[in-house]
């Protein structure tokens, strides 16, 4: 190597030094320690105690109880309803949080990706003023989730909340117009958005979707604007309907974008924490407890740091899995030019 090359190499490392140091101290080292902690019993104040895979088997493992399974079968019920008695998870709460997180991710996926695409389609126009509308949709993305959660808390109040007031107003209107003359007035549903287990998760999903749509929409919009206009023009000249253009040109060309959005959406939903923390504290009856919230409870409220670390690695494994699946599938069905 010439003197110049050596000098250039040294300069390269020097310029990279802050990043390298930061990466080593605040990423690589904690990552290794976290992996070690996940195999220990650790309460922060005494030395970590090696427990092998115990944290992972506590979270993911289960025991089988054949006796109670047979007992339920004997009582005449189906094998399916007896399954719950057969498989008894070591930590049922983890599975509740796991299930909630999956539901959360799927819910946000459906309620944000599809509307985001439709709005982007609507905003992809040559008319004036589109940036104003784009900004209006995007503002919820930049607002602090904690701040927005406090606002939605009042929208979702059962007594006199915004949503229930609007619903009452609609019900009264419908009653005055139709149902009371028919002698069968509707009752005010007075939904407990945040205080009943069957509604709480959905309420959080709606709020999170509201704050995610703008982000997805901007990515969709950038991709839509990247489609060469001559493709549309040719289709319009050929007399293709808007529907056909959407299905035959736009969606195939946008498939990498769609995939990217699906994956980033799932990855961020798997880490949901602030919304349930502020609005429901994971309740009612753990119906909005997410994995990361459970991890926080275990690690930082009960000081079961080893278990908390293991839960974090499980989240990481899930994210890794989603990313791998994305790479595999996208090879098959994503259209590339």
Partner 1 sequence: MFLQGERTSIFSKVLYYLALSLLGLLFLYPFIFMVASSLKESPEVYSNILSLFGARLRFENYHTVVTSVQMGKYLLNTTIVTLCVTLGQIVTSLLGGYAFARLRFPGRDIIFRVYLGTMMIPFTVIMVPMYKMMLTFGWVDKLVSLIVPWLFTAYGTFLMRQFFLGIPKELEEAAIIDGANRFTILTKIFVPISGPAIATQFTISFLYAWNSFIWPLVAIQSRANYVVTQGLADIQGGYHANPPIVLAASTLAIIPTVLIFLFAQRYFVQGVATTGMKN
Q: Which is nearer to partner 1, 88 or 165 (CB)?
A: 165
Beta carbon of residue 169, minimum distance to partner 1 (angstroms, whole number): 8
Beta carbon of residue 95, minimum distance to partner 1 (angstroms, whole number): 19
Helices and strands of the chain, counted as H and E runs? 17, 4
Contact 208, 269 (CB under 8 A): yes
Indicate the angle between helix axes 162-174 and 145-155, nearest 10 degrees.
Answer: 30
Contact 199, 128 (CB under 8 A): no
Please give the Cα distance from 198 to 300 (Å, whole number). Answer: 28
Contact 90, 59 (CB under 8 A): yes
Burial of 285 (0-12, 13-18, 19+ CB in 10 A): exposed
- Token reading at 136: 């209006």
Beta carbon of residue 274, minimum distance to partner 1 (angstroms, whole number): 5
What sections of 24-91 are H helices per DSSP? 29-37, 54-60, 66-74, 79-86
Beta carbon of residue 81, minimum distance to partner 1 (angstroms, whole number): 36
Beta carbon of residue 331, minimum distance to partner 1 (angstroms, whole number): 13
Please give the Cα distance from 311 to 37 (Å, whole number). Answer: 11
Q: Which is nearer to partner 1, 13 or 80 (CB)?
A: 13
Q: First-to-last CA distance in the chain?
A: 41
């Amino acid at each position: 190597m010439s003197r110049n090359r050596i000098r250039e190499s040294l300069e390269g490392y020097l310029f990279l030094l802050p990043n390298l140091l930061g990466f080593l101290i605040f990423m690589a080292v904690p990552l290794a320690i976290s992996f070690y902690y996940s195999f220990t019993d650790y309460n922060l104040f005494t030395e970590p105690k090696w427990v092998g895979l115990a944290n992972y088997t506590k979270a993911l493992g289960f025991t089988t109880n054949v006796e109670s399974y047979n007992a339920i079968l004997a009582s005449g019920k189906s094998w399916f309803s007896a399954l719950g008695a057969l498989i008894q998870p070591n930590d049922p709460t983890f599975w509740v949080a796991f299930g909630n997180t999956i539901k959360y991710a799927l819910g946000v996926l459906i309620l944000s990706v599809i509307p985001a695409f439709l709005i982007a389609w609507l905003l992809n126009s040559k008319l004036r003023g589109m940036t104003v509308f784009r900004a209006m949709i995007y503002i919820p993305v930049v607002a602090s989730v904690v701040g927005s959660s406090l606002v939605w808390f009042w929208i979702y109040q059962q007594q006199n909340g915004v949503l229930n007031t609007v619903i009452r107003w609609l019900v009264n209107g419908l009653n005055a117009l139709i149902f009371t003359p028919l002698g069968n007035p509707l009752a005010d549903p007075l939904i407990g958005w945040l205080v009943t287990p069957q509604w709480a998760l959905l309420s959080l999903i709606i709020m999170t979707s509201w704050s995610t749509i703008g982000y997805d929409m901007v990515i969709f919009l950038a991709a839509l604007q990247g489609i060469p206009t001559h493709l549309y023009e040719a289709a319009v000249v050929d007399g293709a309907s808007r529907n056909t253009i959407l299905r035959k040109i736009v969606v195939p060309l946008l498939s990498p974008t769609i995939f990217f959005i699906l994956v980033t959406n799932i990855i961020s939903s798997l880490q949901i924490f602030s919304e349930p923390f502020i609005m429901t504290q994971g309740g009612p009856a753990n119906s909005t407890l997410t994995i990361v919230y459970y991890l926080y409870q275990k690690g930082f409220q009960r000081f079961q740091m080893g278990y908390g670390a293991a839960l974090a690695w499980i989240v990481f494994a899930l994210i890794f899995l989603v990313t791998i699946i994305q790479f595999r599938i996208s090879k098959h069905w994503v259209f590339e030019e």
